[in-house]
Copies of this chain bind each other. A is one copy, B any other.
Amino acid sequence: MNMVNHRFDTADTSSFRSGMSRLGSAVNVVTTSSADKRYGFTASAVCSVSDTPPTLLVCINRAISCFHAFERAGHFCVNTLKPHQEDIANVFGGRTPVEDRFGFGDWSEGLTGAPVLSNASVSFECEITNAVDEATHRILFGRVIDIRESEEEATLFYCMRRYIRV
């Protein structure tokens, strides 16, 4: 891989945020459990990596309070929200203390102990197979061990700074 010598100036942060708001994504709550405590945060940066074996990735800011729980746990669950779960997205993306967040939504325990949202659009429970730091974030690679789909086909998106119900 030819790693070029940064020949160009980097784009500015506000242009990047504006551009990224166009790209949009599904709204996910990524959870874990460690030492009998539950942790979770709202994440847009989730994507498929491979289906052989089924693998996805999640980007997590190394500065958020629950980062170390994910580091310890070795597993996580991606819960993709459905329309009308905006309240859950807001709680897990806001200033609510982390254990209080699970008062919103109906949560059960997955195979690994990670919290699984009962009526998510889809949930992917994963074991961490690899982790890479890039800039402020850590990219967690998860091998998918359990998938639960809602009967209703509907997903909550966030794009152009608003929720979109698909």
Contacts and interface: CB of A to CB of B under 8 A. Distances in A.
Nearest to A140: B1
Chain A, interface residues (CB within 8 Å), range: 35 or more
A134 B55 contact: yes
Interface of A: 1-4, 6-13, 15-20, 22-26, 28, 44-57, 59, 61, 71-75, 78, 80, 111-112, 121-122, 124, 127-132, 134-137, 139, 141, 143-147, 149-150, 153, 155, 157, 159-160, 164, 166
21 contacts: A2-B71, A4-B74, A7-B127, A8-B145, A10-B53, A11-B54, A17-B51, A18-B149, A22-B26, A23-B80, A23-B155, A45-B48, A47-B47, A48-B59, A49-B137, A49-B139, A50-B136, A52-B135, A57-B134, A157-B157, A157-B159
